[in-house]
Amino acid sequence: AAGVIQSPRHLIKEKRETATLKCYPIPRHDTVYWYQQGPGQDPQFLISFYEKMQSDKGSIPDRFSAQQFSDYHSELNMSSLELGDSALYFCASSFEQGAWYGYTFGSGTRLTVV
């Protein structure tokens, strides 16, 4: 079965650079969520989209932005990167209309800022 696809798997950037993370949800899933997970931490919710519209916003820094496109894939744009942005970034998708089967997570993008 198709899963949530994230790219790239690994990314190394220097301070003050920008990064773009991509997420391709499970087909027919209408909601995408972005999470940030620091070392030894639980996943922290950043932002979500339902039917291509932002639906919820969590602890996402102003330097970050995200959008969901017409094909339902989503991109997380990160600017002016800081060392503290180094983390594992997860995307998850779900189907919110009708019966609800939980969240499916991607394998994540490991971002290292040097």
Partner 1 sequence: KQEVTQIPAALSVPEGENLVLNCSFTDSAIYNLQWFRQDPGKGLTSLLLIQSSQREQTSGRLNASLDKSSGRSTLYIAASQPGDSATYLCAVRPASGGSYIPTFGRGTSLIVHP
The residues in 25-54 that bind partner 1, with binding defined as CB under 8 A, are 33, 41-43, 45, 48
Closer to partner 1 at the Cβ: 8 or 58?
Answer: 58
Q: Which of 106, 109, 105, 63 is nearest to 87 (CA)?
A: 109
Q: Which of 2, 62, 75, 63 is nearest to 32 (CA)?
A: 75
Question: In whole angstroms, how close is the CB of 18 to partner 1 at the nearest point?
Answer: 24
Closer to partner 1 at the Cβ: 35 or 72?
Answer: 35
Q: Does 71 bind partner 1 (CB under 8 A)?
A: no
Q: Which of 2, 15, 54, 58 binds partner 1 (CB under 8 A)?
A: 58
Q: How far apart are CA 47 and CA 53, in angstroms?
A: 11
Per the DSSP assignment, residues forming a β-bridge with 23 are 6, 74
Question: In whole angstroms, how close is the CB of 6 to partner 1 at the nearest point?
Answer: 8
CB 63 within 8 A of CB 78: yes
Contacts of 14 (CB under 8 A, 6+ apart): 81, 113, 114
Q: Which residues bind partner 1 (CB under 8 A)?
A: 33, 41-43, 45, 48, 56, 58, 88, 90, 92, 96, 100-108, 110
